[in-house]
Chain A
Amino acid sequence: MNLFNTSKLNVKYQYLISLSLVLITAIACFLASSFIDYKIVALIFLMVVSIIAMLFDILPVLAAAVLSSLIWNFLFIPPILTFHITHAEDLLMFLLYFFIALVNAVLTFKIRNEEKKVRDKEEKENTIKLYNTLLNCLSHELRTPISTIIGAVDTLKDNKAKISTSNQDELLNQIDIASIRLNRQVENLLNMSRLETGMLKPNLDWCDTNELIYSVIQKNTNAHKQKIVFEPNENLPLLKFDRGLIEQVLQNLIHNAINYTPSTTTIQISASLQSGNYVLTVSDDGYGIPEAELKLIFDKFYRLPHSKTGGSGLGLSIVKGFIEAHQGTVRAENNKTGGASFIVVFPVDASYLNNLKNE
């Protein structure tokens, strides 16, 4: 398939390369003309034109066919160095050569067109497949909490007298959890659609990153059993990025770490400035991620096989989208000592006003 990428080359280069290939072949054959019969030269030219036909668009190929036939006539068909052809047999051969070269070019062109159609169809099928995954995943992710809410409300309404107070409280609790989950998924979807429509423009402003990280940790304090460790880096200057987006990035990474590691895990967060890049790491000492999946987990709707229910597969793709909006990258690694690390890197402006003492 790699061969076909050459057809994306600038048309100018296609002409240049095909014509020079013809010229080089002509020179080589001319130098060797004492060993090679001029009829063999025609076959060599045909081969070169066929190769060109496999690589480029139809017009550069036609140009190569015309040029090669003229060169063959001029340099190789006796009398050489004229366009004159004396033998009827040679004239027939010249016309045949010209015809075969053209047919060759047109046929290859047609085959390539067919292949493109097949590829387009495949792409379309993939889009439909993705769309179906989206619908399945969405209906599950949205309907589960909605069913919980509707069911719990029905039970509370219809059997009010029969349910113990503690069970009533439990049902109310379930409604609460379901609504939070529903809200999170809706937020994910809204973020995803902001990314998909290209409407997302980071609103850059100066941020105190230590405070930002603490505030996200604080938001999650009631949601986990794991230990979250963060050693603030007091030397960090103010950094310029979209606070809302990076907050969401950190929230999604911490949410994942909490949801996909055992309760005895320690989650470690660190932030630093390394040669103009902000580096944010969330690592854990949990189960880690199978090597083959490390790249896939950032794909939309991708979830690790056998991962527990509850999750849309959108969290990490949103992280990736938001970081790419900051011209940065995010990657996942397995730690040597066990567990996984998510490393976010993006270029930032740093403030040097930090030591401003007075006005």
Chain B
Amino acid sequence: MNKAEILVIDDEPQIRKLLEITLESNDYKVWQAETGKAGIILAANHPPELILLDIGLPDKSGHEVLKELRTWYNKSIIILSVQNDEADIVSALDNGATDYLTKPFRSAELLARIRLAIRNNQTTNHDSKLICDDLEIDILSRVVTKNKILLKLTATEFNLLVLLAKNEGRVLTHQFILKEIWGIGSQTETQYLRVFVGTLRKKIETNPNQPQHIFTESGIGYRFI
């Protein structure tokens, strides 16, 4: 199998060097761009499997680059951001970023996210059956089992679980989930979302207080694993 190609768009030479070495020693081929403009051109000439995009670029903001890329590029884009910038991350995710990492991040975390994002590129999630560890979700017959034991879920809980499980590994923002499950106009009703995540956890998690499937991303959303 050919090496998967990753495009790194970051203006910091040190970060680029670090990513280059880390990724190449893990069998990825790395392309680098210093500016948003160069990154877009490079991506158009050599569409990579995945793009690592720094949100604070000098020439144009990472948000603009993200929007421009998303007009034609449909594989994974992971954004790199500095800490304490929840609003920034949420807006990038809502504009089509696949995932995010905050600097400083651990290499192991970076590699895990990259593996997952590339896997999600390849699998088309139209399977009617989703299996995650002890959970089995049959979308067509609307049946969920945990360790082969049938779980009783309400319609909303089921829809929420399917939405999360279909985007396994990906962080979904509160707004996105609310829009998908409750439709447009309910985006301020985060209370309902919390309550349903709570009841869903009680049913699918072995210990609802220490979830193994639905993880809270503080200030951003939820990630299903």
A interface residues, Cβ below 8 angstroms from B: 179, 183, 187, 190, 194, 203, 205-208, 210-212, 214-215, 218, 232, 238, 243-244, 247, 351, 353-354, 356-359
Contact = CB atoms under 8 A, between A and B. Distances in A.
A205 B189 CA distance: 10
A354 B195 contact: yes
Interface string B9-28: 00000000000000000000
Interface in B32-85: 83-84
B104 interface: yes
Interface in B121-148: none
Interface in B179-207: 190-192, 194-199, 201
A354 B190 contact: no
A244 B195 contact: no
24 contacts: A190-B83, A203-B86, A203-B219, A205-B190, A205-B219, A208-B194, A208-B198, A208-B216, A211-B216, A212-B216, A215-B216, A232-B209, A238-B194, A238-B198, A243-B216, A243-B218, A244-B219, A351-B194, A353-B192, A354-B198, A356-B192, A356-B196, A358-B155, A359-B155
B156 interface: yes
Interface residues of B, number: 24
Nearest to B199: A356
A206 B218 contact: no
A214 B201 CA distance: 14
The 9 closest A-B pairs by CB, nearest first: A206-B194, A359-B156, A210-B209, A353-B195, A214-B209, A206-B191, A214-B210, A243-B218, A358-B154
A215 B199 CA distance: 18
Contacts of B198: 208, 238, 354
A244 B199 CA distance: 23
Contacts of A194: 84
A183 B192 contact: no
